[in-house]
Amino acid sequence: MKKLIALLLAVLMAFSLVACADAPAGGDGDVTYAIVCKDASNPYMSRMVSGFKTACEALGVKCIEKSPETTSVDDQITIVNELVAQNVKAIAIAANDAAALEATLKAARDKGVAVVTLDSDTKGSQMFINQAGVTQVAQVLVDSVYDMTGGEGEFAVLSASSTATNQNSWIAAMKTIIEGDAKYAKLKWVETVYGDDESQKSTDETQNLMTKYPNLEVICCPTTVGVLACAQTVQNTEGCKIKVAGLGLPSEMKDYVGDDKVCPYMYLWNPIDVGSCAAYAIDAILDGKVGEVGTKFTAENETEYEVMAGDPADQQIIVGPPFAFNGDNIADWATVY
Amino acid sequence: MATKSGRTIAHVKERSLKDLLLRWESLLVLIFIAVNIMNASFSPYYLDAYNLFTSINGFLVKGMIALPMAYILLLGDIDLSVGGNVCLSATVLGIVYNATNNIWLGIAACLATGILCGALNGLILTKFTELAPMIVTLATNILFRGLSERILGDGSTGGMQSIDWFSKLYYGRVGPVPYMFIVFCVMAVVFGLVMHKTVFGRQMYAIGENKRAAAYAGIKVEKIRMFVFTLTGFICGFAAVFYCACLGSVKSNVAEGFDLEAISMCVLGGISTAGGKGTFLGAIIAIFIIGLLRYGLGLINLSGQTIRIVIGALLIAVVLFPTIRDLIKNRKAKK
């Protein structure tokens, strides 16, 4: 019995000793920016974080990265609260829900924290760092489908989760573009399926599509996890003539992109640029450089951004147009990200 | 117990002190203190009352569900459907509110959904007593979440946050203390008193200890199980109201993992999944140990995965405690 008490006391003492050594770690003088991803196991998100970190170093501020284990909005709320408690100066977040973070982010802003969203927007954010305009992305996706089907035929969309803000806005914009232009009248959109950004589920959904629609010509995947699973499945199915279009990471897709391969070309923006743009935008906001909608500002990275009206964020800026990867440039980009 | 055999009072006292120290709750109190000392010393931001209560609010929805879960486990049953129940109840609240523009109707429908879901579990399990609760509630969990997915599709429902008093259910405070914390405390006291101070509570212990013996002793076993499952459903609906006030927007993947979280809290609290063992106080302390440990580790920016490992290791260590305690006792007895 005495031993047990002694042991517990010893553990307590050990804790306090470690504590004394560690206590001054988070002084109030440091300026810290934090970045919160959708989930911890997404390679695209980690590229974004690396861009954010590099920019933070260049700006001379500390950087914290925190991400939930799964794409859950509950965990993101917890994380934002933890960051606010640590007196960070700014939070950049890739939101897992378009509305549920509003109260939490507003509370953070009330405490003087600058809040921007990147990758996926949500209510309550000051500024959305838009990787590419929604219509720009939808347009290149629709054009890929148009080109790969040869102007007519069946195609399907394999998305991430059915609740992802960015996926749904691209899909909605694709619908508008196709319905609004007679040029696309012969394209038949058979179904939209959801792989939840999980390899196995995306593979299963691809196989279901192949069985259900024998005349399917193109599967369009506006998600990096989905496009990889889809390309792998199509490639491994003998005699399958389906083409894959979408948004993919060059390093993951390098074996599948090329003129005679399953994916002739695909698009993406540079996630590293998105991350660094977020850090520079935060810096500009904290410096008071960002004005009303319609004005322009030049960030520390010497790039000029136009402030536009955001939806649902208060404002937004666009990082740049989507970039095409094809057989000629994929090998180079595969070494970058 | 020992007075009749002629032993001295002092001896009895010493034994009871030892028993007190070796009780599960004492260990939990020590862990609770250790967690708080550790958190406070690792992070200078931990002891800020406002932020601390923000974080406590964050795990109280799960904590509310852990209260009736303690009853369920005490009976020797298990309910894996609470996450799905919260999700479906919250969905119904959003849908009814948006259809009628009346938040009271939404709340009523939400509570009714919770009760119905719980009653469905109870009905299946008491009418077909040969079915394992784990399998049945696993299935109803999928059913509830599936219904929510069917109702919401790829969208979400919301807008409740525009009602000021409704969002205050979660965000409102008296000083630094959130309303929800007060509600939780009242619930915890009521649940604790019922478990330890009423005939009903003792009947639950008896059922968990030995269902057949309890039935022969005249306890209406299936009636009580039915009631407890329905009660759990009601609390899920009740917690869903606060959850809606927190999120302001519901989609079909909310409240995922609440079931296992609530069960871990109870198990850490010393409530045996085999039934009949444990105290309510233990469960309450355990809710705060898990919640505050998460918060503290989050404050020093450990990754989510590392936090999982720490919590898992803690659970294993604490669950092993009775075995170690018995070893110590046996060694003493040999001497």
pLDDT per position as a tens digit, B220-256: 999 999 999 999 999 999 999 999 999 988 988 888 8
CB atoms within 10 A of CB B138: 17
pLDDT for residue B11 is more than 60:
no
- The per-residue b/e assignment along B159-198, b for 16 or more CB within 10 angstroms, e otherwise, is ebbeeeebbebbbebeeeebbbbeebeebbeebbebbeee
Give the span between the Cα atoms of B183 and B204, in whole angstroms. 25
Q: Are residues B71 and B167 in the same domain?
A: yes
Query: Which residue of A30, A76, A163 to mutate against B (max B Cβ within 10 Å)?
Result: A163
Closest alpha carbon within chain A to B26: A5
Q: Phi-psi region for residue B277, left (φ > 0), alpha (ψ -120 to 50) or beta?
A: beta
CB B179 within 8 A of CB B168: yes
Domain presence at residue B104: yes
Residue B89 banded pLDDT, cuts 50, 70, 90: very high
Write phi, then psi, for B272 (nearest 5 degrees): -75, 135
CB B288 within 8 A of CB B280: no
Token pair for residue B181?
Answer: 């914390």
**What is the model's pLDDT at position A9?**
57
A89 to chain B, closest Cα gap in Å: 15
**What is the model's pLDDT at position B16?**
67
Q: Are residues B243 and B324 in the same domain?
A: no
Tell me if residue B333 falls in helix, strand or coil.
Answer: helix
3-state SS of chain A is CHHHHHHHHHHHHHHHHHHHHHHHHHCCCCCEEEEECCCCCCHHHHHHHHHHHHHHHHHCCEEEEECCCCCCHHHHHHHHHHHHHCCCCEEEECCCCCCCCHHHHHHHHHCCCEEEEECCCCCCCCEEEECCCHHHHHHHHHHHHHHHHCCCEEEEEEECCCCCHHHHHHHHHHHHHHHHCHHHCCEEEEEEEECCCCHHHHHHHHHHHHHHCCCEEEEEECCHHHHHHHHHHHHHCCCCCCEEEEECCHHHHCCCECCCCCECEEEECCHHHHHHHHHHHHHHHHCCCCCCCCCEEECCCCCEEECEECCCCCEEEECCCCEEEECCCHHHHHCCC
> B14 or A293: whose pLDDT is higher?
A293
Residue range A92-108: mean pLDDT, rounded: 91
Give the span between the Cα atoms of A283 and B152, in whole angstroms. 39
* Chain A residues within 8 A of B43 when measuring between CB atoms: 26, 86
Give the span between the Cα atoms of B223 and B206, in whole angstroms. 14
Domain presence at residue B20: no
**What is the model's pLDDT at position A11?**
55
Residue-wise pLDDT for A219-271, tens only, equals 999 999 999 999 999 999 888 889 999 999 888 898 999 988 899 999 998 88
The contacts of residue B218 (CB under 8 Å, 6+ apart) are none
B272 reaches A (C-beta below 8 A): no
CB B115 within 8 A of CB B230: yes
A9 reaches B (C-beta below 8 A): no
The contacts of residue A334 (CB under 8 Å, 6+ apart) are A250, A251, A254
pLDDT for residue B125 is more than 60:
yes
Residue range A70-93: mean pLDDT, rounded: 92
Alpha carbon separation from B319 to A11, A227, B24, B273, B331 (Å, rounded): 19, 44, 10, 11, 20
> A312 or B281: whose pLDDT is higher?
B281
Across the interface, whether the CB atoms of A85 and B305 are under 8 A apart is answered no
Domain presence at residue B62: yes
Q: Are residues B248 and B142 in the same domain?
A: yes
**What is the model's pLDDT at position A84?**
94
Token pair for residue A252?
Answer: 């993951």
Closest alpha carbon within chain A to B321: A4
User: Which of A18, A40, A100 is closest, CB to CB, to B248?
Assistant: A100
A113 reaches B (C-beta below 8 A): no
Q: Are residues B185 and B297 in the same domain?
A: yes
A312 preceded by cis ω (within 30°)?
A: yes
> A337 or A46: whose pLDDT is higher?
A46
The contacts of residue A31 (CB under 8 Å, 6+ apart) are A61, A62, A89
User: Which of A72, A97, A168 is closest, CB to CB, to B154?
Assistant: A168
Give the span between the Cα atoms of A14 and B292, in whole angstroms. 20
Alpha carbon separation from B218 to A38, B15, B129, B203, B277 (Å, rounded): 54, 35, 18, 10, 21
pLDDT for residue A23 is more than 70:
no
Residue A18 banded pLDDT, cuts 50, 70, 90: very low
Domain presence at residue B19: no
Q: B-contacting residues of A 24-63, CB under 8 Å?
A: 25-26, 40
Residue range A73-97: mean pLDDT, rounded: 92
**What is the model's pLDDT at position A81?**
93
Q: Are residues B261 and B131 in the same domain?
A: yes
User: Which of B58, B251, B301 is closest, CB to CB, to A163?
Assistant: B251
Q: Are residues B243 and B314 in the same domain?
A: no
pLDDT for residue A26 is more than 50:
no
B20 reaches A (C-beta below 8 A): no
**What's the CA angle centered on B166, arms B163 and B169, to 5 degrees?**
150
A277 HSE (CA, 13 A, CB side):
27
Q: B-contacting residues of A 193-232, CB under 8 Å?
A: 194
Give the span between the Cα atoms of A53 and A46, in whole angstroms. 10
Residue range B108-123: mean pLDDT, rounded: 97
A190 to chain B, closest Cα gap in Å: 17
Please, which residues bridge with residue A33 across strands? A63, A90
Pairing type for strands B177-178 and B173-174 reads antiparallel
Q: Are residues B81 and B228 in the same domain?
A: yes
Q: Phi-psi region for residue A204, left (φ > 0), alpha (ψ -120 to 50) or beta?
A: alpha
Interface A-B: count of C-beta contacts within 8 A: 124
The contacts of residue A197 (CB under 8 Å, 6+ apart) are A42, A71, A160, A161, A223, A225, A226
Q: A-contacting residues of B 135-154, CB under 8 Å?
A: 153-154
* Chain B residues within 8 A of A121 when measuring between CB atoms: none
Query: Which residue of A74, A79, A105, A196 to mutate against B (max B Cβ within 10 Å)?
Result: A74
Across the interface, whether the CB atoms of B305 and A12 are under 8 A apart is answered no
* Chain B residues within 8 A of A8 when measuring between CB atoms: 30, 34
Domains of chain A: 29-131+271-319 (3.40.50.2300), 134-268 (3.40.50.2300)
Which of A66, A64, A76 lies closest to A103 in space, CA to CA? Answer: A76
User: Which of A26, A66, A102 is closest, CB to CB, to B43?
Assistant: A26
A92-96, B232-236, B265-269, B299-303, range with the lowest pLDDT: B299-303
Closest alpha carbon within chain B to A79: B298
CB A86 within 8 A of CB B45: yes
**Summary mean pLDDT of chain A:** 87
CB atoms within 10 A of CB B315: 15
User: Which of A15, A19, A26 is closest, CB to CB, to B45?
Assistant: A26
A69 reaches B (C-beta below 8 A): yes
**What is the model's pLDDT at position B330?**
82
pLDDT for residue A48 is more than 70:
yes
Pairing type for strands B249-250 and B157-158 reads antiparallel
Please give the residue range of the domain that contains residue B91: 50-301
**What is the model's pLDDT at position B1?**
42
B30 reaches A (C-beta below 8 A): yes
**What is the model's pLDDT at position A162?**
81
Position B138, amino acid: L
> A161 or A104: whose pLDDT is higher?
A104
**What is the model's pLDDT at position A13?**
54
* Chain A residues within 8 A of B40 when measuring between CB atoms: 19
Residue range A310-334: mean pLDDT, rounded: 87
Domain count, chain B: 2
Residue-wise pLDDT for A49-62, tens only, equals 999 999 999 999 99
**Summary mean pLDDT of chain B:** 90
Q: Are residues B70 and B179 in the same domain?
A: yes
Give the span between the Cα atoms of A274 and A92, in whole angstroms. 11
The contacts of residue A183 (CB under 8 Å, 6+ apart) are A146
Residue A19 banded pLDDT, cuts 50, 70, 90: very low
Domain presence at residue B38: no
A74 reaches B (C-beta below 8 A): yes
Please, which residues bridge with residue A159 across strands? A194
Domain presence at residue B9: no
Residue A29 banded pLDDT, cuts 50, 70, 90: low
Domain presence at residue B116: yes
Q: B-contacting residues of A 277-296, CB under 8 Å?
A: none
Give pairs for B92-101: CB < 8 Å, separation 24+.
B92/B151, B93/B160, B93/B240, B93/B241, B93/B244, B93/B250, B94/B156, B94/B157, B94/B158, B94/B159, B94/B160, B94/B244, B94/B249, B94/B250, B95/B151, B95/B157, B97/B159, B97/B160, B98/B157, B98/B159
**What is the model's pLDDT at position A139?**
92
Q: What is the DSSP letter of B252?
A: T
Residue range A187-203: mean pLDDT, rounded: 91
Pairing type for strands A265-268 and A304-306 reads unpaired
> B304 or B60: whose pLDDT is higher?
B60
Q: Are residues B316 and B241 in the same domain?
A: no
Give the span between the Cα atoms of B41 and B299, in whole angstroms. 11
**What is the model's pLDDT at position A21?**
40
Across the interface, whether the CB atoms of A194 and B154 are under 8 A apart is answered yes
pLDDT for residue A6 is more than 60:
no
Which of A73, A51, A47 lies closest to B251 in space, CA to CA? Answer: A73
Q: Are residues B189 and B314 in the same domain?
A: no
Give percent of chain A above pLDDT 70: 91
* Per-range mean pLDDT, top range of A4-18, A120-134, B102-116, B156-170: B102-116
Residue-wise pLDDT for B12-56, tens only, equals 445 566 677 777 888 899 999 999 999 999 888 898 999 999 999
Residue B68 banded pLDDT, cuts 50, 70, 90: very high
Alpha carbon separation from B94 to B31, B113, B189 (Å, rounded): 40, 12, 30
Across the interface, whether the CB atoms of A1 and B22 are under 8 A apart is answered yes
Domain presence at residue B33: no
pLDDT for residue B10 is more than 70:
no
Q: Are residues B189 and B330 in the same domain?
A: no
pLDDT for residue A186 is more than 80:
yes
CATH number for the domain harbouring residue B74:
1.10.3470
**What is the model's pLDDT at position A10?**
56
B154 to chain A, closest Cα gap in Å: 4
Q: Are residues B278 and B313 in the same domain?
A: no
Residue range A95-120: mean pLDDT, rounded: 91
